[in-house]
Structure 1
């Protein structure tokens, strides 16, 4: 169970970055609260709140399963969560932005 928590910690921490960055710049960005979900844009404020909640969730999971930085199973599991969600996000939002700019 600890590896699952560490994996999701990495995923939450990865997910907080684009939402906080967009929100802090005052730019809209897709969130699960937009219509359609994950495709339509949400306001900058919604993105800051969503990014902050992801940050808190990721940090909370890390406090429950401490990680030593280095080449070890715990650290690699967190990095796997970052890589998996980062890859999914790059592919998904690449298609979303391509579709929006094709109009």
Structure 2
């Protein structure tokens, strides 16, 4: 019982790395939707018909970018990523890099790159 009281609440657990990885994924997914949205260009979103392939309005793209931001920020805030080790930031970076390559491949195949 005494051990549980003295345990550091900010001790990094395995699932914090998964949270950080997904925070990186959602952070990078903000970019193409936000950029297309604010420049007034249609771009695919999950709300398009067909989902992820059809084009959505610029306003819907800004909305999707905002949703991605809120998800990423929620992960960052609730997992207290800023209070953890440099390895957490490496997980954020890894998620971002993986998503970058995925988006380049996916949108390139749609002829949008």
- Mark the runs of 5 or more structure 2 residues left unpaired by the alignment: 1-14
Partner SS state of residue 35, structure 1? coil
Query: May I ask how many residue pairs the two structures share in their alignment?
Result: 97
The Cα of 1:42 is off from its aligned counterpart by: 0.4
Give the match for residue 107 of structure 2: 93
CA distance in 1, matches of 2:43, 2:53: 9
Q: What RMSD over aligned residues (CA atoms) do the two structures have, in Å?
A: 1.7
Q: Say whether 1:4 aligns with 2:21.
A: no
The Cα of 1:37 is off from its aligned counterpart by: 1.5
Partner SS state of residue 45, structure 1? helix
Work out which of the two has the higher radius of gyration on C-alpha atoms and give 1 or 2: 2
Find 2:66's aligned residue among 45, 52, 55.
Answer: 52
CA distance in 2, matches of 1:54, 1:23: 14
TM-score by length of 1: 0.86
- Mark the runs of 5 or more structure 1 residues left unpaired by the alignment: 99-103
